Structure 1
Amino acid sequence: MHPAPKTFELLPGADASPVILHVPHSARTIPAPVRDDILLEDGALARELDHITDAHTIELAEAAAKAAGVAPWRFVNRMSRLVIDPERFPDEREEMLSVGMGAVYTQTTHRAPLRPAGFDPRPLIERYFHPYAQAMTDAVADRLAVTGRAVVIDVHSYPTARLPYELHGDGPRPPVCLGTDTFHTPPELLAQARAAFARTGDAGIDSPFSGAYVPLEFYGKEPQVTALMVEIRRDTYMSEPGGPAGPGLGRLASALAALVDAVTARPDGGAPS
Structure 2
Amino acid sequence: MPAPEPDVSPAPGPSFELLPGAAESPVILHVPHSARAVPADVRAGIVLDDAALGRELDHLTDAHTARIAAEAAALCALTPWRFVNRLSRLVVDPERFPDEREEMRAVGMGAVYTRTAHREVLRTDDVAQQPLLDRYFTPYARAMTLAVADRLAATGRAVVVDVHSYPTARLPYELHGDGPRPPVCLGTDAFHTPAALLDAARDAFAGFGGTGVDSPFAGAYVPLDFYGADVRVAALMVEIRRDTYMGEPGGPAGPGLSALAAALADVVTAAAR
TM range (shorter): over 0.9
Residue in structure 1 matching 2:220, options 212, 217, 223: 212
Q: Distance in 2 between matches of 1:257 and 1:194?
A: 13
Q: Distance in 2 between matches of 1:8 and 1:178?
A: 24
Q: Give identity over the alignment, percent.
A: 70
Structure 2 gap ranges (5+): 1-9
| Aligned-partner SS, 2:99 | coil
Q: What does 1:26-45 correspond to in 2, within 5 Å?
A: 26-45=34-53
1:2-27 deviations in Å (ceiling 9; x for gaps): 97411000000000100000000000
Partner of 1:270 in structure 2? none
Letter in 2 for 1:47: R
TM-score (norm 2): 0.95
Report the aligned-residue RMSD.
0.9
Q: Distance in 2 between matches of 1:138 and 1:77?
A: 15
Partner of 1:196 in structure 2? 204
| Aligned-partner SS, 2:128 | coil
Q: Distance in 1 between matches of 2:12 and 2:236?
A: 32
Residue in structure 2 matching 1:121, options 120, 129, 135: 129
Deviation at 1:120, TM superposition (A): 1.6
Q: Is the 8 A contact 1:214 1:227 kept in 2?
A: yes
> Which segments of structure 1 move beyond 3 Å, counting only runs of 4 or more?
none
Q: Distance in 1 between matches of 2:208 and 2:83?
A: 24
Q: Is the 8 A contact 2:12 2:39 kept in 1?
A: no
Residue in structure 1 matching 2:144, options 118, 122, 136: 136
TM-score (norm 1): 0.95
How many residues in Structure 1 have an aligned counterpart in Structure 2?
264
1:96-142 deviations in Å (ceiling 9; x for gaps): 00000000000000000000122220000000000000000000000
Residue in structure 2 matching 1:52, options 38, 55, 60: 60
Q: Is the 8 A contact 2:160 2:222 kept in 1?
A: yes
Residue in structure 2 matching 1:99, options 101, 107, 127: 107
Q: What does 1:1-273 correspond to in 2, within 5 Å?
A: 4-265=12-273
Deviation at 1:186, TM superposition (A): 1.2
Letter in 1 for 2:118: H
Q: Distance in 1 between matches of 2:248 and 2:223?
A: 31
